[in-house]
Amino acid sequence: MIAVIDYKCGNLRSVGNALHRIGAEYQITSDPAVIRSASHVILPGVGEASSTMRALQKDGLDQVVLSLTQPVLGICIGMQLMCRYSEEGDVNCLGIFDTDVRKLPGSDTLKIPHIGWNTVQPLPVETRHALSLQTGLPDETYFYYVHSFAPAICEQTTAITGYGVPFSAILQNGNFFGTQFHPEKSGEAGEIMLKNFMKL
């Protein structure tokens, strides 16, 4: 069973719908016992980093996430909260990924927030986990983004996207994974990625 963490900050319905489409058993919950006993955990989220971090901390869910040993997937702001620090709201985060979240540079041709489809380029295979979120997906696969901030590239980056600057599209540290894009809104490619997560 997949536990989808409910900390009142997110795209819970769209994540639940995507899991339903691929036949996954899941429960949306804020119960630490249910989260810890799940086979897989998803930390979704939409919103501003400092307020979502406070929401995660409110009932001690930040410590629950840090204690998890099963596969954990952070989506969008969920992944950003798993980083070290975010410029959005000047907030310290969970520190699972050893990188900072920075504001994307805008321009006349690159509007912020970055909304829409963009390609994800995997890094060389030797940098990836044996069972990867990217298994079965070709290079330059398109995924759906909605964000103004993104994690800088670091040693835990397994795939990148460029929008003004290159940034981490996918991060991994042990059993913790994160995507800056929304797999639950990314059609068939997103469903393949969620199935890959279920196999971890």
Q: What is the pLDDT of residues 149-197, one digit of tens each?
A: 999 999 999 999 999 999 999 999 999 999 999 999 999 999 999 999 9
Catalytic annotation on 76? yes
Helices and strands (DSSP H and E) totals, the chain? 6, 13
Which stretches of the chain drop beneath a pLDDT of 50? none
Mean pLDDT for the chain?
94
Residue 22 near residue 191, CB atoms below 8 Å: yes
Determine which one of 88, 93, 114, 184 is catalytic. Answer: 184
**Above pLDDT 90, what percent of the chain?**
87
Q: pTM of the full predicted structure?
A: 0.95
Q: How far is CA 196 from CA 2, 79, 147, 190, in A?
A: 13, 17, 24, 10
Query: In this predicted structure, what is the pLDDT of residue 11?
Result: 78
Determine which one of 9, 40, 76, 114 is catalytic. Answer: 76
> Which tokens hold the place of 83?
């980083």
Of the candidates 90, 108, 109, 110, the residue with the CA atom closest to the CA atom of residue 100: 90
Determine which one of 40, 114, 147, 182 is catalytic. Answer: 182
Residue 198 near residue 119, CB atoms below 8 Å: no
Catalytic annotation on 184? yes
Query: In this predicted structure, what is the pLDDT of residue 131?
Result: 59
